[in-house]
């Protein structure tokens, strides 16, 4: 990668980057690979729910609002290695996306770090291969919109964004993605999200939560959040009231892409 403009130049001193969540509108598990990972086919959709990452040039790197091995810092190190130069920054992370919910919060933060650091340091590069090294959802969240993801989810084919609104509910506890995929090897799956059966086997409380919500709700990713498609914002606001007594809720709309590859 050849950064441009020259080292030392910053396009801007600071940027605030929304780190948008994603939904898996569907998810098929195609099988386990020899390396232990699972091949999938999923339709990603970026949504308006987001964390916020403020990126400022600085003499030394400091992260506020994250943890020591946060994906934000891992993204910064990966971008610096690709650029062949230090990219010190003050990074302030404001979390809104629940952790362990299947909404891509950590991956969204990593994608926002790549985008923000590229902007403040004037880098012109393809972020996709760097993003792929950070996690399967990160490449999609660098660009947003809607896409069919294959492989581990990192191979993307853009498609038209969804329409309408979403009601999103989360029961207040995380589910381990690794545990869910390992259980999928034992129980398999069916339906729009083929991880649903495995997620319920890993965390029985999730099945109870789904029963409380009733029909029409779909698990995103490996859980633990559910979403429901709605035609209008008012319909989505009405739908989230079904889960308000049992967990966290949000109303969100689908978004188009905010960046382009290359």
Active-site residues, by number, are 22, 137
Residue 238 contacts by C-beta under 8 Å, 6 or more apart in sequence? none
Using CA atoms, how far residue 119 sits from 141, 147, 198, 212, in Å, is: 16, 24, 40, 45
Copy the structure tokens of residue 24. Answer: 């898996």
Q: Where are the beta strands (DSSP E) in 58-159?
A: 62-64, 89-94, 146-151, 155-159
Minimal CA–CA distance to 106: which of 61, 65, 147?
65
Copy the structure tokens of residue 19. Answer: 């780190």
How many Å apart are CA 138 and CA 143, to the nearest integer?
Answer: 9
């Amino acid at each position: 990668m050849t950064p441009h403009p020259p080292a030392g130049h910053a396009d801007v001193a600071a940027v605030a980057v929304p780190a948008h969540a994603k939904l898996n509108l569907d998810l098929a598990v195609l099988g386990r690979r020899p390396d232990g990972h699972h091949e999938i086919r999923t339709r990603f959709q970026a949504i308006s729910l987001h964390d916020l990452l403020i990126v400022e040039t600085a003499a030394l790197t400091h992260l506020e609002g994250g943890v020591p091995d946060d994906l934000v810092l891992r993204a910064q190190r990966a971008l610096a290695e690709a650029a062949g130069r230090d990219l010190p920054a003050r990074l302030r992370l404001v979390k809104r996306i629940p952790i362990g919910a299947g909404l891509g919060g950590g991956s969204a933060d990593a994608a926002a770090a790549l985008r923000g650091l590229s902007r403040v340091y004037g880098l012109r590069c393809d972020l996709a291969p760097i993003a792929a090294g950070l996690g399967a959802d990160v490449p999609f969240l660098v660009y947003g919109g809607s896409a069919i993801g294959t492989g581990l989810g990192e191979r993307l084919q853009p498609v038209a964004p969804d329409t309408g609104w979403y009601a999103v509910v989360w029961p207040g506890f995380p589910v381990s993605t690794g545990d869910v995929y390992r259980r999928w090897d034992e129980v398999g799956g069916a339906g729009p999200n083929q991880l649903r059966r495995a997620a319920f086997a890993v965390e029985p409380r999730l099945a109870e939560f789904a029963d409380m919500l009733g029909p029409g709700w779909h698990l995103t990713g490996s859980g633990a959040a559910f979403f429901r498609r709605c035609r209008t914002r008012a319909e989505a606001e009405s739908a989230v009231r079904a889960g308000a007594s049992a967990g966290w809720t949000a109303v969100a709309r689908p978004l188009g892409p905010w960046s382009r590859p290359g």
